[in-house]
Amino acid sequence: MTISLSDDERRAIVVAEEIAEVTIKDCLIDDDHDRIAFVVKAGEVGKAIGRDGETVSRIEDRLGRDVTLVEDAPTPEGFVANALAPAAVYDVTIEDRDEERVAFADVDEADTGAAIGADGRTIELARRLAARHFEIDDVQLA
């Protein structure tokens, strides 16, 4: 699947990769919530965060926006689980329903709020990224 990036998203990737020394697979600028989401190569998200969050803070300072990091995954189930972090996701199942591909995430009840996020930010980001990377039409909590 080909992902189209705006010039601003490409510039943000260059900044993040330069500061964190990680591979950024995708970038999504969310003007509604004044943040930038980066999909980081699997295994590199810890490096992107840095000790005590120092690296991600430097990225945020340079870009002037909040930054959300999502670890890439080879499967749609793993990707959706990562996109809902820090919520504890027990399982993700993908179903085809009425010509739509839907991911159902089984989340710890105590983490439902974290999976949804303030004003639905977390689950909406998971939906947008899952659509871009795995052609999933919707993400729902099971």
**CA dist list (Å): 17 to 10, 13, 60, 101, 134:** 11, 6, 13, 32, 23
In terms of residues, how long is the chain? 142
Phi/psi-derived region of residue 73, left when phi > 0, alpha when psi is between -120 and 50, beta in every other case: beta
- Report the predicted TM-score, pTM, of the whole model to 2 decimal places: 0.93
Query: What's residue 1's pLDDT?
Result: 65
Query: What's residue 14's pLDDT?
Result: 98
Give backbone dihedrals phi and psi of 111, rounded to 5 degrees, phi first.
Answer: -105, 10
25-67 per-position pLDDT tens digit: 999 999 998 999 999 999 999 999 999 999 999 999 999 999 9
Query: What's residue 2's pLDDT?
Result: 76
84-125 per-position pLDDT tens digit: 999 999 999 999 988 999 999 999 999 999 999 999 999 999
- Look at the block and give the residue holding tokens 């998971």: 126
Q: Distance between the two ends of the chain, CA-based, in angstroms?
A: 27
61-91 per-position pLDDT tens digit: 999 999 999 999 999 999 999 999 999 999 9
Given the DSSP bridges, would you call strands 100-107 and 89-97 parallel, antiparallel or unpaired?
antiparallel
Mean pLDDT of the chain: 96
Domains of the chain: 7-71 (3.30.300.20), 76-141 (3.30.300.20)
